[in-house]
Every structure is written in structure tokens, then in C-alpha cells.
Amino acid sequence: MKVTKQRSALKAVSWRAIGTADTFIVSYLITHRPITAASIAGFEVLTKTFLYYLHERGWNNVSWGRINDK
């Protein structure tokens, strides 16, 4: 079973949408400043999307925990 790079990229983007919303909410609750919260969330979305993509691609090379469909 192979996973395409496009699937990994789409998973990274969809997961980051959830994570970035969470980061914005938490940042806003701590700072009470929407601009600061948006800045934190905006920066975080760039770094964590890239890191998740690398993490996902790395795990695609690990066979542990996979079951063959055949």
C-alpha cells in the first residue's frame, strides 16, 4: 500500500486548518489581542504544515503497524 505525496500534502493542509484555529483561539485567550493571536497562528501554520509533511512522508517509509490488503 503506497500513499501519494498529494494525499500527504492534503492531509497536512486539512490538519493545519484545525490546528491553526486552535492556536488562534488559545493565543487570543492568553493575549486578548486578535492581531497578536493572528500573527502567532499565521506563523505557526507555515512551520507546522512543512513539519507535518516531512513527518508524514517519513512515516510512509516505516512498515511497522501496516497490514497488507492482499
pLDDT at 54: 92
Full residue range of the structural domain in which residue 52 is found = 5-59
pLDDT at 23: 95
Q: Is residue 9 a contact partner of residue 53, using CB atoms and an 8 Å limit?
A: yes
In a domain, 68, yes or no: no
* Cα gap 28→52, rounded to integer Å: 24
In a domain, 31, yes or no: yes
Collapsing DSSP states into helix, strand and coil, what is residue 35?
helix
Confidence class for position 68, pLDDT limits 50, 70, 90: confident
**pLDDT at residue 35 above 80?**
yes
In a domain, 70, yes or no: no
In the chain, the number of structural domains is 1
pLDDT at 3: 79
Q: Where is pLDDT greater, at 64 or 36?
A: 36
In a domain, 54, yes or no: yes
pLDDT at 11: 85
DSSP letter (8 states) at residue 39: H
